[in-house]
Amino acid sequence: MMKGATIDELFDLTHTKAAELFEGHTYPWEILPLIHDFILKLGAALPEEEYEKRGEDIWIAKDAKLWPNVSITGPCIIGHGTEVRPGAFIRGNALVGDGAVVGNSTELKNVILFDCVEAPHYNYVGDSILGFHAHMGAGSITSNIKSDRKNIVVKAGEEHIETGLRKIGAMLGDYVEVGCGTVLNPGSVVGAHTNIYPLSSIRGVIPADSIYKKEGCIVRRED
């Protein structure tokens, strides 16, 4: 088992409506192909007094704030108190938790955003899972496909896991802070409570409770 990359190490599942989806799986990328069907199932069961069904397979909490010029394709669920700001582009297969922010010109596709996630400014988040209170700095993106289009291998030192998937963005643990302008390369995994310096290029598994300053310079958080 790859240390630092498991569902149990990365996430507190009490902060997502997708907790059931993670059951029986070891690594979070295993559920990426399952998001579409899960949202359809969950959406149909949401209480009508709390969620409004808009368009085809789109469920939006009645206390969520959506600006008028956003674009949403289903299946999609937007949670309680979440704000979707001008120009946001949600391309489907997106489960956005409670109290989250999907910012101006941010694009989402095949993702699970736990409660209180912030992707507030010019972010691309695709084929990714962002844990509770994870924050994407302005202009930071998940790169979800390799230039050679081959299946993605998750790497932690000398340990490699063949995922069998061609598209994987990033798996961000709870309370991860991603600095502005950072690129999270395909198959990146960032442990909970880790901070990434701005303008970083992240690959492989980054330990929890760390500060990533640059490649080869990762220090332990002291707080």
pLDDT tens profile 94-142 = 999 999 999 999 999 999 999 999 999 999 999 999 999 999 999 999 9
Consecutive H or E run containing 8: helix 7-10
The answer as to whether 1 is a domain residue is no
User: Residue 211 forms beta bridges with which residues?
Assistant: 195, 219
The answer as to whether 170 is a domain residue is yes
The answer as to whether 180 is a domain residue is yes
Catalytic positions are: 121
CATH number at residue 22: 2.160.10.10
Confidence at residue 216, expressed as pLDDT on a 0 to 100 scale = 85
Q: Which two tokens stand for residue 10?
A: 């990365």
**Mean local confidence (pLDDT), 3-16:** 97
The answer as to whether 190 is a domain residue is yes
The pTM for the full model equals 0.96
**Mean local confidence (pLDDT), 162-179:** 98
Confidence at residue 55, expressed as pLDDT on a 0 to 100 scale = 84
Number of domains comprising the chain: 1
Which domain range does residue 54 map to?
Answer: 7-220
- Measured between alpha carbons, how far is 142 from 136 in angstroms, rounded to an integer? 10
- Measured between alpha carbons, how far is 98 from 128 in angstroms, rounded to an integer? 17
